[in-house]
Amino acid sequence: MRAADWSRALGELFPIAQPGSASRRTVAWESICGEARPVLLAGAYLSSPRKTLVIVPNVDRALKWQAKLLLCGVSRESVRTLPNGLTALFDDDPPEFVALSDRIAALQALADDDPVIVVATASAALERTLPAHVLREVTFSLKPGVRIEPQALTRRLLKLGYEHHEPVRLPGHFSRRGGIIDVFVMGLDSPVRIEMFGNEVESLRSFDSVTQRSIGKVPGVSFAPSRETLLPSDSGQFVDMLRRSLELEAAALDATYRDSLIEHIEEDVRRFESREYFDRLDLYRPLIHPDACGVVDLIGGDGLVVLDEPLEVEIAALKAQEEMDQALKSRSSRGEMLQGYVSDFLAPVEHLAENAPVLAMGSMNAYPDWLTPDERVAVEANSLSSLHGSPTGLTKSLKQWKSSNHRIVFATDQANRSKAVLAKVDFFPQPVESLDGLGELKPGVYLSQGNLAGGFALPQHQVTVVTDAELFGVARLRLPQKRFLEGSPVTTLLDLKAGDFVVHIQFGIGRYHGLAKRSVDGVEKEFLFLEYAAGDKLFVPTDQLDRVQKYLNPGDIEPKVNRLRGTEWQKTISKAREDARKVAAELIRLYAQRTLVHRRQYGPDTPWQQEMEATFPWVETPSQLAAIKDVKRDLAQAWPMDRLICGDVGYGKTEVALRAAFKAVQDGRQVAVMCPTTILSEQHFRNFQERLGPFDVKIELLNRFRKASERRETLAMLKSGDAEIVIGTHALLSQEIVFKNLGLLIVDEEQKFGVKQKETLKKLRVEVDVLSMSATPIPRTLSMALMDLRQMSLINDPPPGRLPVRTVVRPYSAESVREAILRELSRGGQVFYVFNRVQGIYHVAEKLRNLVPTARIGVGHGQMAESELEPVMMGFLEGEIDVLLSTTIIENGLDIANANTLIVENADRFGLSQLYQLRGRVGRSDSQAYALFFFHPVRDMDDDALARLRAIQEFADLGAGYSLAFRDLQIRGAGEILGTRQHGSMASVGYELYTQLIQEAVSEERAKLLDPSHQGGEGEPEPAKIEPLPTLDIPVAALIPESYIPVAAQRLHYYQRIVASPSSEVLAEVGAEIEDRYGHPPDTVRAMMRVVRCRIAMRDVGISKVEGSGGRLAISFADRAAISPMVWSLLSKRVRECYFSQTQLIWPFSGDALAATERMITELQAVIEQVELVSAAD
């Protein structure tokens, strides 16, 4: 039986009167516990669907409502959440387009006529928004066959607040390329590609925002506005009003704030006059839309407003109003905005009950002054929270319910485990396939799929719902996965700028100076213009871009530019190749050692393993699932595992480790988890206890916080095997610790351990299974190069529910610091404040106490004694400290979901990697996190500091893809993985070329490993060389014209994609993508594709170069002697005009050189195939 069946049946017990069926407009369901409210409402909705707005006090409760509604059978399309939309009012940051997209979709759903449930916090529901009639007026639709000029369509999109971006990746963005217009419509999961034929819509296709490839046809699309504040229809009149208000208000301010107000408003006036959307536009919503309504107004009289515990809703609403009023009044007093309308952004709380029927649900049975129920229904749904983790109490209650003829429904994610537990107390639940009404369900015990994370009893109706929370003490709810846009790696040439360093694999390191067009033999071609030492210049044809890479390296030192002539570059390549071989040889040695050690293989997953994994409260991300599969596959082998899990901070590496540890315990092996810090070991201990404790796994902790007696007891338990998992610091490697059967070692952030510990770990790797975790990002290309030898899994997907950290870079302001701390404390959170100088840190603490007297402030830095530092850290961990003022000791290790604001003072003095790691301390939960990086404007910043701050702002958005700054961090990670001794080699040739050398060396070393008889020496096969495609030098117009792809960076990107195609099939896919994105290609683009197709075929038949001029092709071969003489004999008979001249095959032609090249390749392929058939027959 599914939860949908019995929840619908429960809903029939408490029907909601339809509008018009009774005069009463407010009904109260009383004495109803929080666990039952979503279940009963879901049942009522399924029985009689209608537009429903559920208003809850906070985001956490909203997520739980959404999850329970889905579990109870309400379709995903019918459940939406309404995020807050006015977060940008607190500062001048750009809108959060992903959250805004969800909000506008929810608003549209409420304005439409179809049934839907929208779950909103009180503050989100009270935000004034566009009235329903405006939403309908500005929204327009398109479908194939509709006539509209492309220019008119782009004007309409701009009018609705859509921004022009190429490529389109985020909601609210659009781009136009000739007759193709891409739009990421607000509220949709994927962007839409509109293909025009003249002024008619020819087709609509959804496409992948990462690959930019079309997914499938779309019958039609409605275009909603991308903002809730639209530009005024009459900008001139609006600007006049602003200037009058400015004149009046500026006179009341002192000189400093008066100048600030004038500067801000005049800049905004300029934006209004130019009719462009800007980040501060929401500040003018009350003036532009004086008829802006509350969300409740969108429902109308046919809908229903549900208040989840009305008094709590009122408290949350008043708190939100106070917080916003305080922030906006503070901003207006500083001259950042006009003050005449600071209280007009939120509707009053009583508005929630004014315009639609209301259903109040709660257990307090008390109501605010503005809410008087017309009818009270005593539901009497009682919580079972007192039974959580109480087997004795649960058993007693179960027997009482059974003797009272209750229908007991077990709602669980762990059916097998539930049956086993219940069987011990003589309860044997029966599955029910379907259910039309509770009347047909006889008293008894039943099993339902889906854990609701908290049960309830309805004694009047003799119904009890028991969940995993009561059965196992686990109250986690499997939350729905939020929509997030996957990151897209930046290709190395897409971001190439004039002046950047590049590597030409034949000529070395030079500087790029842009694309240049030159005429060769009367044919216009496009080239990369590179400059080398001594003023040497090189023009690289765009069809030879596979020989050029952007120069990247782990450090910040500029590379030495090579000369075009001489042997310097060849010597550099040789040395780097030798270093790469050493890396590969070391990896091969460790790999071979592991394969020689045999251990008992792990068996398949047990039912308990499946049950444990089902308690994971999130939806696993694709790369997280892949990592879990990788680990289990390793454990099933007959030799020890050595796998590295790389993933961004908070991306779910610990869950992979938890599942591996539980599998080891299930297989009778002990597990050691080693952490770089004591605090981190404490946090891992809590996580492991919470997830594995309910399964009776014995987990112990070894660190400085443990008493000597506890330590001795733990050591004895490890020796006897009574302790199954131990968590601690590097002390776990001590010789005094003896395991009975150590099977798995989990190492967190291995790079942070010392040389001695790393050497011990290296020895362990050939004896036990080792699973390492690292938050340092590394490039996928490196992981692929080392994949066979250094087992790696990359977790790249942000977890469900994870919001991008709002990153702000701005001059220091005490008022801004105060507001940020108060905002976090007002929502019950905590704050990290980083000041990276011990000298002066206590002065900063005093300053913070004066700014925020109510905040509990703790100070921590590296020079404190352990006895002083540990209580501070633990106090912050336990929530006893509100603001942790510290140096960068928090850079790694602290994982506190409740700390969601980070403030860094003097951020310009930090390195990019430090800023990145610091920002990773926040945003570990579903709450919106903030990272504020302050710099002091009185101090001159150098260019590097400015670039670092711009970079940290640049990759603020999880959905925007990997930025250049993030890629630079990956390169640093690459150096960390390979070891510091490799930094020099990587710097000398650039990251990309060095990765290729590593790949080449790994292939060579693996060949030796797979052929033990291979001793090298004379006759040793040459390793696979890094060779570009053969050269085709013929007079042909093969280029991407600016009229087809106007943006130079995009042209460069596709030049690289085309020439880097390893096969004709991949080339065809690239061609299809280009046509999909830009429309039917012109002749020169098709010629470009034909040229590269010829070069791929030339490589496959052994041709190294083709030169064409004067009516003949001169064809050179990589190794003419390797080709059978029969080939030449047959070729001369098939094509009598061709002949050999010394080392080249001469192929006369007339007319088109490209067509002649294609014919030559076709003839040569046919002859080679014929010879191979003859040889095979012999």
On the question of pLDDT at 490 being above 50, the answer is no
pLDDT of residue 555: 63
pLDDT band at residue 295 under the 50/70/90 scheme:
very high
pLDDT band at residue 978 under the 50/70/90 scheme:
low
Q: 346 Cβ partners below 8 Å, 6+ apart? A: 123, 126, 127, 128, 317, 320, 321, 324
On the question of pLDDT at 41 being above 50, the answer is yes
Ramachandran angles phi, psi of 1153, nearest 5°: -65, -35
1014-1040 mean pLDDT = 68
How far, in whole angstroms, is CA 848 from its chain's centroid? 34
> Cβ-count burial of 1063 within 10 angstroms (0-12 exposed, 13-18 middle, 19+ buried)?
exposed
Same domain, 994 and 1081: no
Helix (H) or strand (E) holding 725: strand 725-728
Of 571-580, 782-791, 1151-1160, the one with minimum mean pLDDT is: 782-791
Same domain, 532 and 654: no
Of 321-325, 440-444, 1085-1089, 1103-1107, the one with minimum mean pLDDT is: 440-444
Q: For residue 491, is it within any domain?
A: no
On the question of pLDDT at 973 being above 80, the answer is no
pLDDT of residue 269: 94
Q: What is the pLDDT of residues 667-679, one digit of tens each?
A: 999 999 999 888 7
pLDDT of residue 367: 94
Same domain, 328 and 412: no
pLDDT band at residue 1109 under the 50/70/90 scheme:
confident
Q: For residue 162, is it within any domain?
A: yes
1072-1094 mean pLDDT = 94
On the question of pLDDT at 835 being above 50, the answer is yes
How far, in whole angstroms, is CA 16 from its chain's centroid? 41
Q: For residue 97, is it within any domain?
A: yes
Same domain, 456 and 345: no
Of 2-11, 328-337, 736-745, 749-758, the one with minimum mean pLDDT is: 2-11
HEC letters along 460-497: HHCEEEEEHHHHHCCCCCCCCCCCCCCCCCCCCCCCCC
Ramachandran angles phi, psi of 644, nearest 5°: -110, 125
Q: At 898, list the tokens.
A: 């409740």
On the question of pLDDT at 1020 being above 50, the answer is no
Give percent of the chain above pLDDT 70: 85
892-897 mean pLDDT = 67
In the chain, the amino acid numbered 742 is L
Q: How many helices (H) and strands (E) does the chain have?
A: 35, 43
On the question of pLDDT at 491 being above 50, the answer is no
pLDDT of residue 741: 93
Same domain, 661 and 785: yes
How far, in whole angstroms, is CA 373 from its chain's centroid? 45
Q: For residue 1012, is it within any domain?
A: no
Q: For residue 1145, is it within any domain?
A: yes
Of 214-218, 362-366, 397-401, 909-913, the one with minimum mean pLDDT is: 909-913
Of 206-210, 572-576, 927-931, the one with minimum mean pLDDT is: 927-931
pLDDT of residue 184: 96
Task: Quickly count: other Cβ atoms within 10 Å of residue 190's Cβ.
Answer: 18
pLDDT band at residue 663 under the 50/70/90 scheme:
very high
Same domain, 194 and 244: no
What's the residue count for the chain?
1178
- Choose among 359, 335, 332, 360: nearest CA to 345: 332
Strand-pair category, 375-383 with 304-308: unpaired
pLDDT of residue 717: 96
Q: What is the pLDDT of residues 409-418, one digit of tens each?
A: 888 877 887 8
The CA distance from 718 to 723, in Å, is 5
189-211 mean pLDDT = 92
pLDDT of residue 8: 64
On the question of pLDDT at 88 being above 90, the answer is no
The CA distance from 156 to 150, in Å, is 10
Cβ atoms of 264 and 284 closer than 8 Å: no
Which carries the bigger pLDDT value, residue 717 or residue 614? 717
956-964 mean pLDDT = 41
On the question of pLDDT at 904 being above 90, the answer is yes
pLDDT band at residue 324 under the 50/70/90 scheme:
confident
In the chain, the amino acid numbered 131 is P
Same domain, 902 and 789: no
Same domain, 174 and 248: no
On the question of pLDDT at 971 being above 70, the answer is no
pLDDT of residue 485: 44
On the question of pLDDT at 831 being above 60, the answer is yes
Which carries the bigger pLDDT value, residue 34 or residue 1023? 34
User: In sequence order, what DSSP letters do the residues of 1022-1047 get, joined into one string?
Assistant: PPPP---PPEEE--------TTTS--
- Choose among 986, 962, 965, 963: nearest CA to 974: 986
pLDDT band at residue 750 under the 50/70/90 scheme:
confident
Task: Quickly count: other Cβ atoms within 10 Å of residue 1036's Cβ.
Answer: 24
Q: For residue 315, is it within any domain?
A: yes
The CA distance from 646 to 778, in Å, is 7
Cβ atoms of 219 and 132 closer than 8 Å: no
Q: For residue 969, is it within any domain?
A: no
On the question of pLDDT at 152 being above 70, the answer is yes
Same domain, 852 and 937: yes
Cβ atoms of 412 and 468 closer than 8 Å: yes
Give percent of the chain above pLDDT 90: 41
Query: Which of the listed residues 771, 795, 819 is the one where a domain comes to its end?
Result: 795
| Structural domains of the chain, count | 8
pLDDT of residue 1024: 42
- Choose among 1103, 1125, 1134: nearest CA to 1171: 1125
The pLDDT mean for the chain works out to 84
Cβ atoms of 979 and 782 closer than 8 Å: no
pLDDT of residue 623: 87
What CATH number did the domain enclosing 987 receive? 2.40.10.170
The CA distance from 701 to 687, in Å, is 12
Q: For residue 487, is it within any domain?
A: no
On the question of pLDDT at 616 being above 70, the answer is yes
Which carries the bigger pLDDT value, residue 767 or residue 979? 767
Cβ atoms of 907 and 809 closer than 8 Å: yes
852-862 mean pLDDT = 90
Calculated CA dihedral for residues 809, 815, 820, 821, nearest 10 degrees:
130
Of 608-617, 716-725, 854-863, the one with minimum mean pLDDT is: 608-617
Q: What is the pLDDT of residues 18-27, one digit of tens each?
A: 544 444 589 9
pLDDT of residue 905: 94
The range of the structural domain enclosing residue 528 comes to: 501-586+982-1003
pLDDT of residue 146: 96
Q: What is the CA radius of gyration of the chain?
A: 34
The CA distance from 717 to 699, in Å, is 10
- Choose among 524, 532, 534: nearest CA to 548: 532
Q: What is the pLDDT of residues 444-453, one digit of tens each?
A: 888 887 778 8
Max Cα–Cα distance, the chain, nearest Å: 104
pLDDT band at residue 550 under the 50/70/90 scheme:
confident
On the question of pLDDT at 850 being above 80, the answer is yes
Cβ atoms of 1045 and 1111 closer than 8 Å: no
Own/partner pairs, 574-577, CB within 8 angstroms, 24+ separation: 575/985, 575/988, 576/985, 576/986, 576/988, 576/989, 576/993, 576/994, 576/997, 577/997, 577/1000, 577/1001
Q: At 1172, list the tokens.
A: 């191979």
pLDDT band at residue 1032 under the 50/70/90 scheme:
very high
pLDDT band at residue 1025 under the 50/70/90 scheme:
low
What CATH number did the domain enclosing 720 receive? 3.40.50.300
pLDDT of residue 916: 74
Task: Quickly count: other Cβ atoms within 10 Å of residue 184's Cβ.
Answer: 27
What CATH number did the domain enclosing 145 receive? 3.30.2060.10
Same domain, 628 and 777: yes
On the question of pLDDT at 1012 being above 60, the answer is no
Residue 532 DSSP symbol = -
What CATH number did the domain enclosing 402 receive? 3.40.50.11140
Same domain, 783 and 902: no
Same domain, 708 and 840: no
pLDDT of residue 968: 55
